[in-house]
C-alpha cells in the first residue's frame, strides 16, 4: 500500500480487488470491475470502474490480477506470439461468476440455465467433513447432477465450508441416511440408472476400460471399510482404480474425484463424436 493514492485509487477495481489483494483477502471474496460493468455499464464519475493510469500498479502485486482487468482485444489487432513469460496462472473468481451469470443473480436461475451431467454421486457412507466437502467441490466443478450426503446439516459446519469454498451454494444436494441408501439405489435403478460402486472386488471393471452409461449412480464406500456387503450385492458393476504403488488404498474423496473426472471425460468425448458425425 506504499503507492496508495486516495484520489487516484478511488475506483471499483481497486476497492473490490486490488485492495483486497494487498490485505491478503481470499480470492473468493474479490470482484473484478468487469463484473460490475456486466450488471450496470453506466459510468459514475465520482467512482469509475477503474483508472487506466493505475493499471500497471493494480496488476503488479499478483499476475493473476490481470484477469478481469485486461480489456478485450480489438478484432483488427493481430495476435501476438505468446512467450513463457506471458503465461500466468488463471484463477476463476466465484463472486465474478455469480455477478456475470445473469442480470438476475439468484441461485435458481443459475441452476435453470445450466445443463448438468446425469451423474448422481452417493456419499451417504462417508462421514468425514473434509471428504464430503471435497466431493461437493469436485461434483460442482465437473457438473454432476446431484450429491447425496448423510445429512444436509454439514453445510452449516465450518469444517465443511472451509473446504467446499462455496460450492455447496451451486451443487444440488439431498439427504439420504445410511440406513436408507439401499432404498434410494433401488428407486434410481427403477428410473433407469446404472448403479456403480467404487470398490476393489474380484470382478471389478478397471477404470479407464469401463464405458460409463450416461445415467449413472456412483456409490462411494466408507472411509476404511468400503462398500458394505448388503449394498455390494445391489451394484450393477464395481469399478476399480488401477494402482501401481506400494500403498493400495486411495482416500475416498480422491477416488471419487478420479472416477467423476473419468465419467465427465467420457461424456465429453461422446458429445464431441456426435458433433463431428453430424
b (16+ CB within 10 A) / e for 116-139? ebbbbbbbbbbbebebbbbbbbbb
pLDDT value at residue 66: 40
User: Which of 134, 125, 124, 126 is closest to 159 using CA atoms?
Assistant: 134
H-state helical runs in 46-106: 55-60, 94-101
CA–CA dist 276, 214 (Å, integer): 19
CA–CA dist 4, 6 (Å, integer): 6
Q: Which has the minimum average pLDDT: 37-46, 79-88, 186-195, 229-238?
A: 79-88
Identify the bridge partners of residue 173 per DSSP, sorted by sequence position: 147
Contacts of 190 (CB under 8 A, 6+ apart): none
User: What pLDDT, in 10s, does the model give residues 134-190?
Assistant: 999 999 999 999 999 999 999 999 999 999 988 999 999 999 999 999 999 999 999
Q: Which has the minimum average pLDDT: 64-73, 157-166, 236-245?
A: 64-73
249 against 167, higher pLDDT = 167
pLDDT value at residue 196: 98
Query: What Rg do the C-alpha atoms of the chain give, in angstroms?
Result: 23
Whether the per-residue pLDDT at 278 is higher than 90: the answer is: no
User: What pLDDT, in 10s, does the model give residues 93-141?
Assistant: 555 555 544 434 444 545 555 678 999 999 999 999 999 999 999 999 9
The cell numbers describing 90, all together, are 488463471
pLDDT value at residue 103: 37
pLDDT value at residue 92: 53
- Out of 82-96, 140-154, 241-255, the most confident range is 140-154
82 class by beta-carbon count within 10 Å (0-12 exposed, 13-18 middle, 19+ buried): exposed
Tell me the average pLDDT of the chain: 81
Other Cβ atoms less than 10 A from the Cβ of 102: the count is 14
Whether the per-residue pLDDT at 23 is higher than 80: the answer is: no
Identify the bridge partners of residue 198 per DSSP, sorted by sequence position: 220, 239
Whether the per-residue pLDDT at 68 is higher than 50: the answer is: no
User: Which of 218, 31, 20, 249 is closest to 120 using CA atoms?
Assistant: 218
Q: pTM here? A: 0.66
The secondary structure of 260-275 as a DSSP string is HHHHHHHHHHHHHHHH
pLDDT value at residue 104: 40
DSSP symbol at 173: E
pLDDT value at residue 215: 97
CA geometry: angle at 224 spanning 218 and 225, to 5°?
70
User: What pLDDT, in 10s, does the model give residues 185-222?
Assistant: 999 999 999 999 999 999 999 999 999 999 999 999 99
pLDDT value at residue 185: 98
Amino acid at each position: 500500500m506504499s503507492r496508495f493514492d486516495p484520489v487516484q485509487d478511488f475506483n471499483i477495481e481497486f476497492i473490490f480487488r486490488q485492495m483486497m489483494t494487498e490485505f491478503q483477502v481470499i480470492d473468493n471474496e474479490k470482484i473484478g470491475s468487469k463484473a460490475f460493468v456486466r450488471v450496470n455499464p453506466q459510468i459514475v464519475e465520482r467512482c469509475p470502474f477503474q483508472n487506466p493510469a493505475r493499471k500497471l500498479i493494480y496488476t503488479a502485486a499478483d499476475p493473476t490480477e490481470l484477469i478481469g482487468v485486461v480489456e478485450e482485444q480489438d478484432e483488427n489487432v493481430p495476435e501476438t506470439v505468446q512467450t513463457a513469460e506471458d503465461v500466468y496462472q488463471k484463477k476463476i473468481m466465484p463472486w465474478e461468476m455469480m455477478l456475470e451469470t445473469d442480470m438476475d443473480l439468484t441461485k435458481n436461475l443459475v441452476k435453470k440455465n445450466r445443463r448438468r451431467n446425469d451423474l448422481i454421486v452417493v456419499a451417504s457412507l462417508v462421514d468425514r467433513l473434509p471428504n464430503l466437502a471435497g466431493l461437493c467441490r469436485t461434483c460442482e466443478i465437473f457438473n454432476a447432477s446431484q450429491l447425496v450426503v448423510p445429512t444436509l446439516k454439514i453445510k452449516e459446519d465450518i469444517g465443511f465450508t472451509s473446504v467446499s469454498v462455496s460450492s455447496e451454494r451451486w451443487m444440488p444436494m439431498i439427504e439420504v441416511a445410511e440406513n436408507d441408501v439401499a432404498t434410494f439405489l433401488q428407486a434410481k435403478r427403477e428410473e433407469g440408472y446404472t448403479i456403480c460402486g467404487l470398490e476393489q472386488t474380484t470382478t471389478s471393471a478397471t477404470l479407464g476400460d469401463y464405458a460409463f452409461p450416461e445415467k449413472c449412480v456412483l456409490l462411494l464406500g466408507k472411509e476404511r471399510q468400503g462398500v458394505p456387503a448388503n449394498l455390494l450385492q445391489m451394484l450393477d458393476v464395481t469399478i476399480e482404480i488401477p494402482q501401481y504403488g506400494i500403498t493400495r488404498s486411495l482416500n475416498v474423496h480422491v477416488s471419487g474425484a478420479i472416477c467423476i473426472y473419468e465419467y465427465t471425460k467420457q461424456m465429453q468425448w461422446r458429445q464431441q463424436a456426435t458433433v463431428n458425425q453430424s
